[in-house]
Each structure stands twice: as structure tokens, then as C-alpha cells.
């Protein structure tokens, strides 16, 4: 009975083509089905007010892209595996193992690659939020809502040291070099 219900849920919600997350160590978390996958990209526009007239806009900032997922994972990996065999996907982790892996990735800020229906191989993603929902209609399966954010990785660049001429102190003509003034506090001075 449970097997038939899961097959019905999977056929209703859709079989993932290759929807999974993968870390740098090739650990994967497959989703039994992905009901919704949306990509969002946005920019922010600077806005400066002036005394009279319209505000002045002089710059835009590109915000990080984000992906939102609504998916289902279950404990019945054997059923899921039978369905996914035709797609050559391997799902062997239990529901608990997959949830724990997602939680670990989120807490550690692991860089992940997302393979989904819309985009293939979106690298440098972080899990920014994860919601879990289990109701009587899902049975032993868990509905997940995941938010992923793509991050840009800064690269270190080597620079040559500055020449000695550019590091010399310069003074305006007629100004003397001053020494910092030192103040000695006396316990009899009346302060504190």
C-alpha cells in the first residue's frame, strides 16, 4: 500500500531528471521529486535625494543569484531507485542520512553544486534556508523547501612591494615634523 502511494506521489509530482546537490567531496543528496524550482536574479539601484527635483541614480549593484526549491524526499529508497534506474541515478541514502547531510552543509557553509531541471551544474551555492514539513498527506516522506544562494569567490592576487620612494614621508614647506605629546598623570593632580 505504501509503495503504491509513493509511486503515485512520484508520478504526480514528477520524477527528477538529475536534481541533486553535490559537495567538493562528491557527496550527493538526491531529491525524490522536485515540484518547484525557481531562479531569481536582481540588481539594486542607488538613489540619492537632492533638495529640488528628482532623485539622482548613478550606480547599480548586481545581487547574488538565488535558487528556491520545493522537493520531496522519502525513506523508501528502493522504490525511488526502481523509478530512477532508467535515469541511471543512484540513491542509496535514507531520509535521515540525507536530511542530516543537508543540515551539516548548511551549518558549515559548504560550497555546493546544484544539478536541476532549469540549470545544470550551478557551482558555488550555499544553503541559506531549509524548511522541513511532514503531514498526513506526505506519509513517511518529507517536503523540503530549500533556498540556495550563489556566491562569488574572491581570488588572492600577489602584488609587488612599493618602491622606497613612494613610502617616504612628505611634509609641506615650512612645516616642522612634530612629535607626539606625552602626558604624565600624577596621583595628586586631582583627576580621578
pLDDT of residue 145: 94
pLDDT of residue 153: 82
pLDDT of residue 180: 59
pLDDT of residue 18: 63
The predicted model scores a pTM of 0.61
pLDDT of residue 190: 47
DSSP track, 33-102:
EEEEEEEE--EEE--B--SSSSPB---EEEPPPEEEEEEEE-S-HHHHHHHHGGGT------HHHHHHHH
pLDDT of residue 21: 92
Could you say which residues of the chain have pLDDT below 50? 1-2, 15-16, 78-81, 83, 87, 89, 189-192
Domains of the chain: 2-41+62-150 (2.40.30)
pLDDT of residue 189: 46
Spatial neighbors of 41 by CB under 8 A, at least 6 apart, are 62, 63, 65, 66
Amino acid at each position: 500500500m505504501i509503495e503504491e502511494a509513493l509511486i503515485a506521489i512520484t508520478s504526480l509530482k514528477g520524477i527528477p531528471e538529475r536534481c541533486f546537490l553535490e559537495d567538493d567531496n562528491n557527496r550527493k543528496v538526491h531529491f525524490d521529486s522536485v515540484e518547484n524550482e525557481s531562479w531569481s536574479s536582481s540588481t539594486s539601484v542607488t538613489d540619492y535625494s537632492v533638495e529640488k527635483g528628482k532623485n539622482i541614480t548613478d550606480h547599480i549593484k548586481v545581487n547574488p543569484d538565488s535558487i528556491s526549491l520545493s522537493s520531496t524526499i522519502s525513506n523508501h529508497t528502493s522504490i525511488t531507485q526502481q523509478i530512477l534506474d532508467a535515469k541511471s541515478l543512484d540513491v542509496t541514502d535514507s531520509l535521515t542520512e540525507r536530511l542530516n547531510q543537508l543540515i551539516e552543509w548548511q551549518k558549515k557553509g559548504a560550497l555546493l553544486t546544484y544539478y536541476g531541471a532549469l540549470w545544470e551544474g550551478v557551482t558555488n551555492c550555499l544553503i541559506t534556508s531549509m524548511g522541513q514539513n511532514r503531514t498526513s498527506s506526505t506519509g513517511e516522506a518529507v517536503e523540503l523547501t530549500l533556498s540556495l544562494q550563489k556566491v562569488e569567490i574572491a581570488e588572492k592576487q600577489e602584488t609587488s612591494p612599493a618602491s622606497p620612494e613612494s613610502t617616504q614621508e612628505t611634509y609641506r614647506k615650512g612645516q616642522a615634523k612634530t612629535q607626539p605629546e606625552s602626558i604624565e598623570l600624577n596621583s595628586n593632580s586631582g583627576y580621578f
